Structure 1
């Protein structure tokens, strides 16, 4: 039972004019359920995930087969073993995994991997496979590359033996605003039986993604939200796995989790180290050491990271002036904000805003 549940058992929730309250905090409102905000840091981190595009994929691979795969630095992938089984191997020190029907595989950024059946089958580079099988079919009648035709392609490859059917969702993420849960994954995560457990949900998502794919755009809001829903449930499932990495370990440490939750709720607050110590209910040295051990950065660095990630979202998703974003990010001057932001992501706030504006002008109406 959670700490909140234990507390409620001693001090019950009250109902006051359509508001469910615990002490003075509104937990849920009959008039506006969106007022509910979970107290758990993990739930707040899930809410922070944002994708810029999502593409469904399907491959029919017949034994013997081997495919060597590398995705871009901004690409996050979820595989589903829809039918059959194979072996997925990785660069050392990650051990090979048996990937069987009903399983889900979550692959973080920069995860070089090989999909094979049987094990040790020679692999074709995915780029060569795409060049041979897909690229000849993605030009229109005028010979111009067509995104719509690309999205309609399905990969069929192998020696004609036992079938392994792979479904996937390829997600494109701005790494600076992708959220701690994505950046914090230590490596590939195999979720045994996940697809069987969520079969109706997965089928509905892929059916709707196929409909959205017909619109010939990978940036459709509906497709992105569907992919975010899948990613959210997969990451939540991942918390039950052992050795899930720094941010997950941080959420398992009550003192660190309290700080993460507090900062995410009020990133604009002028958080001093003593404020964070009071939230954590531990001494300064203990908080620093536990934060470094679990999250991989100091509490103050974490505060800056959250503020600048939120600032990046405001630069790309709103029309707020940089001066206004500076103030909301709790920086004393635009010059100080510019220096901190450039150190954080390598670009100035103005450059990020200009890039986002150029992309929006190119987007289909």
Structure 2
């Protein structure tokens, strides 16, 4: 569950900080990318060197490191993280989190977070039971944070009761369970196509289109975040895919066709967002064509209709989604394509819509289902559009 996840581990001033070494080892062993933030008090219990060695990343302790001149950007750290885990979370830090106090790097990262935040309290029994601590915890839970409850046992003071930091293995189990809950497509095989195809004219030139692959890559990443086992077949694109996605690079429509035929049968969900050429040169010159005559005639032949072929092979337990990029009579053309190619729904976007089209980071879509019902969405980032498409697919399962 944690493979390739970006985890920020916040370590606060508590005797339980020694457990953070084991926790970092478990996170790294599970395949997570771990960055540790130590409060000043935490550094008195465990050294930055220990956690840097185990995490294989520098440990952050303050905004600005005078010795190196390095500034730790709390906003960038918060945006990098898929999860922020604060363990041990001291009474002091819980109070800061609950009341918006921002006097150290960890509290600044917390206030900048857009991801799920989990905290595992650790303190003495009387501190844990104090109403101010309990009020702070109620606030944090109301904010949407998740608590990994402390255990009971002998505490550093010699008292016996609640307040012990949960064991590293228990924290790992809790974190894995939360990730699983947010992955409704866990284990499902998904096939996504993206980008353009390039149809060779000669060894130098090709016929292509302006597709960047941004939309298809966003869809692949959205599926990965939902737990799916994603295969991405991409035409030429500068976009980067994560290590968890199986990427197959192709160039031509024929190569795209072959790759789709090989992987479609195993996929329970297929989203065809690639801009595949409809025509390809009938003859590809073996040498570069020289500029001689005033005109040049190239005879084109139709490429295989990959989407229609997949639609004809689709079984009852497979979901197939297509895209339609139109310039005129948009809805009518999209509906015809939906029915002709046996799709579960089609995603329509128009080059006439501002914010939609090739090479930009936004899109504006309309989803039309088998019943010809449509949902029109506002202009959004392609990542947000991908999330909408995935949710529409989940509703069909």
Q: Normalising by the residue count of structure 2, what TM-score does the alignment of the two structures yield?
A: 0.24
| Greater fraction of residues in helix | 1
Q: Normalising by the residue count of structure 1, what TM-score does the alignment of the two structures yield?
A: 0.25
Which structure carries more relative contact order (alpha carbon 8 Å, separation 6+)? Answer: 1
